[in-house]
Chains A and B, each alone.
Chain A
Amino acid sequence: MEMIQAALGWLPMWLQVLMMIVLKIVVILIPLMLSVAYLTYAERKVIGYIQVRIGPNRVGPIGLLQPIADAVKLIFKEIIVPAGSDKLLFLLAPILAMAPALAAWAVVPFQPGMVLADVNAGLLYILALTSMGVYGIIIAGWASNSKYAFIGAIRSAAQVVSYEIAMGFALVGVLVAAGSLNLGQIVLAQSGSILHWFWLPLLPLMVVYFISGVAETNRAPFDLAEGESEIVAGFHVEYSGTPFAVFFLAEYANMILIATLSAVLFLGGWLSPFQGIPGLAEGALGAPSMLWLFIKVAFFLFLFLWFRATFPRYRYDQVMRLGWKVFIPITIVWLLVVAGMVVGELPPWFA
């Protein structure tokens, strides 16, 4: 870091700062894009394995180049813009879906002090940006001028708005427990040992948060926005080539984001699970590190794929019932419980 800063020393100050920020963004986004590519590969492999198949294994060793081949194929395909569509909005929609999924990474802490923007209202920023993603879907459905796309967009909008509430309440629980909106502070509030992490006192909220996250990213079993059996492919029926690829990227980037947030908010982010265990905590195992975060994220991503391979799609009224009549009451009740625990300074979490 210092070396790069020194190399840029001859530039005016504002340009130095700008270049450093751009550099950090690139350092975050390139691995993210690679993870997205290989998440699609992991998805096909995992679902294949669960269905007693082997998944892609032809392109490169054990199929490792498959995502590259897919990307190249999509990029070279023709971009078809339907005649009746609103061309500007039609091409803007995938960008609107993608941008919030990437921008949210600005406040995600990877390691102590390793965060692009150490914002005090980080949690609010995340909440605001994850809700923005739905605009891309609504605009895509509207601009396509196709009934399937439109129905998909309407469904997705209603679903995301309903689950936002449960998700928001789950985040309020974290906020109450940690006493801070800063994601780094939230992680630090969980330090101690694996039992100090928030997954234990906030277990129902963690479940609600993660399931709402699945619903929010329009993944199976909540993928009614796509619903290929009834509305073809939902909001992206009319998309092909690169714009379709961008929607695809947005969906998977959102999955990784939700998995990362679940890990940061409930599983202690970068904290080591061996912390606080005598004999194990002293060495490298006990040290906080980015690797622990990645392992936790991988666990949540595996759950995403496992869900998709296991559950059939919900019926629309069931989705709404689950969101409004199950999740919201659970989160409200548990918020009171958390508040009670914090006021009562219940050890070991809130003492």
Chain B
Amino acid sequence: MNSMFRFLKSLFLLELFGGMRVTGRHFWRKKITLHYPEERAPVSPRFRALHAQRRYANGEERCIACKLCEVVCPAMAITIESAQREDGSRRTTRYEIDLTKCIFCGFCEESCPVDSIVETHVYEYHGESRDELLMTKEKLLAVGDKYEAQIAAARAQDAKYR
């Protein structure tokens, strides 16, 4: 009896029609594709992408060459050299992040005592050579100057959880 039932079930393709009903229903479902260049996925304030160095409001660079980020970096992507400036303050003469090594863990940002090195929300960038992906101090400061408003807003939003 059971085998008879099974035979009829497979002869009339019941399971297959069931499958077609499922796919047929999905045909009418709302599509979830994001039209990327026109639409973007929302980005968290903690999002970690391209690095930047920040400045104080008076234009002075924040970094004091403490080298904590260089020490904490698990990928050893950061290289720092420092010297005394004419006014006697301790500053970096060289600050480089190799983006081909960086794993975007955000430890550099967490370790920084003066909130100098930060990660911005800029995730659309490219380099055609390794040199272009080596972020020098000038490049990092330029990124910081360009996106300061966004960086500050993201830090302010996240401040109460820190």
Task: Spell out A's residues near B (CB within 8 Å).
Answer: 46, 49-54, 57, 306-307, 309-311, 326
Contact = CB atoms under 8 A, between A and B. Distances in A.
Interface string B66-110: 000000000000000000000000000000000000000000000
B23 interface: yes
B29 A52 contact: yes
Interface in B17-47: 19-20, 22-24, 26-27, 29-33, 35
Nearest to B22: A310
A315 to B, nearest CB: 15
A306 B24 contact: yes
Contacts of B31: 49, 52-54
Contacts of B23: 50, 306, 309-310
A54 B33 CA distance: 7
Contacts of B35: 57
Nearest to B24: A306
B145 to A, nearest CB: 35
A215 to B, nearest CB: 14
A50 B24 CA distance: 7
Contact of B26 (A51, A307, A326): A51
Task: Please classify the interface of chain A as helix (H, G, I), strand (E, B), loop, or mixed, using the class held by over half of its residues.
Answer: helix
Contact of A311 (B16, B29, B32): B16
Nearest to B17: A310
Contacts, number: 33
Given A53-B33, A326-B11, 8 more contacts: A49-B27, A49-B31, A52-B26, A52-B32, A54-B31, A306-B23, A310-B23, A311-B19
Nearest to B16: A311
A347 to B, nearest CB: 27
Contact of B20 (A53, A57, A310): A310
A46 B27 contact: yes
10 contacts: A46-B27, A49-B26, A52-B29, A52-B30, A52-B32, A53-B33, A54-B31, A307-B20, A309-B23, A310-B20
B20 to A, nearest CB: 5
Contacts of A50: 23-24, 26-27
Nearest to B10: A326
By CB atoms of chain A within 10 A, which of B11, B23, B31, B32 has the most? B23
Nearest to A303: B20
